[in-house]
Amino acid sequence: MTIAVLVHEQYQTLEAWVPYFRLREAGIRPLFLGTAHREVRSKTGYPLRPDKVIKAIRAEQLDGVLIPGGYAPDHLRRYAEVRRLVRDMDQAGKLVAAICHGGWVLVSAGILSGRKVTGFRSIQDDLVNAGAVYRDEEVVVDRNLITSRHPGDLPAFCREILGFLQG
């Protein structure tokens, strides 16, 4: 199995790396995808070089996509290839997971109408205005869509991701 972890400048360190290592620990291949093949830095300055460029990947090559938060989602959502990948993954019923501000990418991908989600409280209005049903819970699962609010929710977020992939 291969899971794409979408990254860009100002990604949230824990929200990218904790799921990355939990997936590896479970024998699942995480793949960092960026909009360019250049080093990006987290909000705290932690460097990361994407394994591949998003343009070079199709949904058929992946089993899921994970969108960490930070300020990176506000950049990622501007790219048509990001929105297309997330939409294609969702339409195929594959894992789509977002934490914190990662919900912004879901909004721009247009996949939230009628879906139950959570996210960082400052984007609650954005999620609701995109048609989602917002829940203030550590993790919300709606079919193949798994969302969480912040780094403190990572244990529940990772548990549900692994449960979905192994179930």
The residues assigned a catalytic role are 100-101
- Map residue 167 onto helix, strand or coil: coil
CA Rg value for the chain: 14
- Helix 154-166 vs helix 13-25: crossing angle, to nearest 10: 40
What is the spatial order of strands in the sheet that 139-142 belongs to? 52-53, 29-34, 2-6, 64-67, 95-99, 145-148, 139-142
What one-character-per-residue DSSP string does 31-55 give?
EEEESSSS-EEBTT--EE--SEEGG
